[in-house]
Chains A and B, each alone.
Chain A
Amino acid sequence: MGFKLYREPDPAKAENSIMFCGWPGIGNIGILAIDTLKELLKAQEIGQIEPWEFFEPYKVTIEGGLLKDLEFPSNKFYLQQFKDQGLLFFIGQQQPSEPRTRYAQGQKAYQMANLVLDVAEKFGCQRIYTSGAAVTQIHHTAKPRVWAVPNNQNLAKEIKQYQNTVLMSEIEGRGDQGLITGLNGLLLGVAKKRGLDAICLMGEIPYYLQAAPWPYPKASKSVLEVITTILGLKVDLTALEELSQKIEQQIDDFLESLYKTEAIPPEIRDEIEKLRYTEPAELGPITEEEQKRIMEHIDELFDQGGRPDERHL
């Protein structure tokens, strides 16, 4: 079990690097943000985590009686130099999880977090950024904020300087506590154990969209704006903005159709619509009961059902 690098770090440059990690998750906010940055910077693939001990293969290719390929979810590293810094990216197509668990947890997730950080340290990274979603009371037409969670107190002061970014203690009704599920959280903890700085940047997503099958690029854009400001990097986010607008229109149309057919009861519609005119800071905490009641209606609408039968060979 390990990683494979196609390129070793340059000893002259292997210091002061930063790593950005993205995996699929709610609204694919993190992976879309990190992958977009990787693409904009034209980072080159430099290695991968060998996937077979973490994931099941999803595709076999057989041609003319010969087994040509077995494909697994990829977990790849990319590198680009920017000014005097190495920018290392880790993009995972899937999070490793134990049987019957939704998020990365357990031994395999811990092993993967360690492998990612082994590579980070090999390339002299002193700072790790992960990214994901913050499910909250926000309307999909509002600009999402970015919730930032550092793995040590010294970083909190720095985070307060970031634009459109809040710490847990600044979020109404949260106190200064919360839980970051999956690798985004685990990596922060393992980095802390190794004495590495790490920050998780989570873009806000409306709670009624957390089970939606489409991405939520508006929050990815908020995350990217924070990252590019930190790096002092000017990038063109027009494509992400256009995708955001397109998705927002789809959400509008989808909700409108549900309201019309009363697939969503009027009181739930009112609760969602109330968010349209509310500033994030004005919102009180949503109770578990309220959220459960609303999600009972919304989640089932997003339920995709079982996959069609496939022939397995």
Chain B
Amino acid sequence: MKDIFRFTYKAKFENPSLIVGWDKDAGRLSPKVIEYLNKKLNAGSFCDIEPVDFFSLAGVAVERDTAQFPECKFYYCERNDLVIFKANEPEFERYRFLDAVSDLAQHHFGVKHLYTIGGTISSTTHSNTRKILAVYNKKELQQELNGYGMEDMTWQGTPAISSYLLWVAERKGIPGVSLWTQIPFYLAACEDFQAIRATLSFLDNRFSLELDLKELDEQEQSQNIKIDRLRQEDSEINRCIGALENGQSLNQEEQLNLIKAVSEFLESGKS
């Protein structure tokens, strides 16, 4: 197991919590939350996972004009006793990957709790407050986090990697919670600043991080102004969002048009 990890620094922890985010996510929630945390907490990387067993390394993908390479890194924040893990989802050997991460968390870091971060696509609108839905692997942690304003989730379906990690952690006796923050479906391909802020706000409260979230407040406000402008310019988009705000549903064509219009408008940088 050890040979898949490459340590670059000997970080010290007491009884840390592990926060896990994946590189791809709805509303870019997971990577943005982790990047924000790392930046604001001055978290430094100290360990990474060798990609060869878990990713196809037949060349590199190019995204946003840049060559990409799978990255699975652990960051440390000794001051707040946090370990932060940001990773591309493994393509192969997912159980071995998650088992190794959990083993390292338990035996090397002595992790107390696991938190996974993710966005869940929802029919809510950008003008609504984002809810965080929670899934726990231990009842005790569910009781401990009662009062943080999260809603318990009930669901059945194909598991995402965070659910898989939560299951692996449970088998090892690591209490954990998956946080699923609502993302309006038409913001899934963009950055959902309100959802990012809501998730960071929870982590801020939970770990007393004293994060400065002003930057995100401004980005959220700016995004809402842009969407309002789109609504003024395009009556059909205004009708669709209005319908969602009134609890009505859209047909598939309307949904796709809304996603396309909002994504293009926000990416075009109009304001």
* Interaction A to B: yes
A57 at the interface (CB under 8 A from B): yes
Complex contact B136–A59 (CB within 8 A): no
Partner-binding segment picked from B6-14, B87-95, B203-211: B87-95
- Point out the residues of chain B lying under 8 angstroms from A53, CB to CB: 95-96
- Point out the residues of chain B lying under 8 angstroms from A66, CB to CB: 135-137, 139, 142, 152
Q: How far is the CA of A312 from the CA of B25 in the complex (A)?
A: 11
Which residues between 144 and 183 of chain B lie within 8 Å of chain A, taking CB atoms? 151-160, 162-164, 166-167, 170, 178, 180
Complex contact A59–B142 (CB within 8 A): no
Q: How far is the CA of A312 from the CA of B118 in the complex (A)?
A: 11
A270 at the interface (CB under 8 A from B): no
Q: Which of B56, B96, B135, B164 contacts A62 (CB 8 A)?
A: B135
Complex contact A312–B135 (CB within 8 A): no
- Point out the residues of chain A lying under 8 angstroms from B162, CB to CB: 313
B238 at the interface (CB under 8 A from A): no
- Point out the residues of chain A lying under 8 angstroms from B139, CB to CB: 66
**Number of residues from B at the complex interface, CB < 8 A:** 33
Q: Which of B92, B96, B158 contacts A312 (CB 8 A)?
A: B158
Q: How far is the CA of A64 from the CA of B151 in the complex (A)?
A: 9
Least CB distance from A312 to B in Å reads 4
Complex contact B158–A65 (CB within 8 A): no
Complex contact B170–A65 (CB within 8 A): no
B101 at the interface (CB under 8 A from A): no
- Point out the residues of chain B lying under 8 angstroms from A99, CB to CB: 56, 91-92
Given the contacts A53-B95, A67-B170, A313-B135, A61 and B142 also touching, CB distance less than 8 Å = no
What is the chain A residue whose CB lies nearest that of B146?
A65
Complex contact A65–B153 (CB within 8 A): yes
Q: Which of A57, A58, A63, A70 contacts B154 (CB 8 A)?
A: A63
Complex contact A310–B166 (CB within 8 A): no
- Point out the residues of chain B lying under 8 angstroms from A302, CB to CB: none
Complex contact B156–A61 (CB within 8 A): yes
Complex contact A70–B159 (CB within 8 A): yes
A56 at the interface (CB under 8 A from B): yes
Q: How far is the CA of A311 from the CA of B134 in the complex (A)?
A: 16
Tell me which of A53, A58, A66, A70 has the highest count of chain B C-beta atoms within 10 A of its own C-beta.
A66
- Point out the residues of chain A lying under 8 angstroms from B154, CB to CB: 62-65
Complex contact B164–A313 (CB within 8 A): no
Complex contact B167–A62 (CB within 8 A): no
- Point out the residues of chain B lying under 8 angstroms from A52, CB to CB: 95
Complex contact A59–B158 (CB within 8 A): yes
Complex contact B157–A311 (CB within 8 A): yes
- Point out the residues of chain B lying under 8 angstroms from A63, CB to CB: 154
- Contact flags B211-228 to A (C-beta < 8 A → 1, else 0): 000000000000000000
Which residues between 128 and 184 of chain A lie within 8 Å of chain B, taking CB atoms? none
Q: How far is the CA of A57 from the CA of B159 in the complex (A)?
A: 7
B100 at the interface (CB under 8 A from A): no
- Point out the residues of chain A lying under 8 angstroms from B158, CB to CB: 58-60, 310, 312
The 10 closest A-B pairs by CB, nearest first: A65-B152, A60-B159, A312-B160, A70-B167, A60-B163, A62-B155, A52-B95, A67-B137, A312-B158, A57-B159
9 residue pairs A–B, Cβ–Cβ below 8 Å: A53-B96, A56-B94, A60-B167, A65-B153, A67-B170, A311-B121, A313-B118, A313-B155, A313-B180
Which positions in A face B, CB cutoff 8 Å? 52-53, 56-67, 70, 99, 310-313
Other than A57-B167, A66-B137, A313-B153, give 18 A-B pairs with Cβ distance below 8 A. Answer: A56-B94, A57-B159, A58-B159, A59-B157, A62-B153, A63-B154, A65-B134, A65-B136, A65-B142, A65-B153, A66-B136, A70-B163, A310-B157, A310-B158, A312-B158, A313-B118, A313-B162, A313-B180
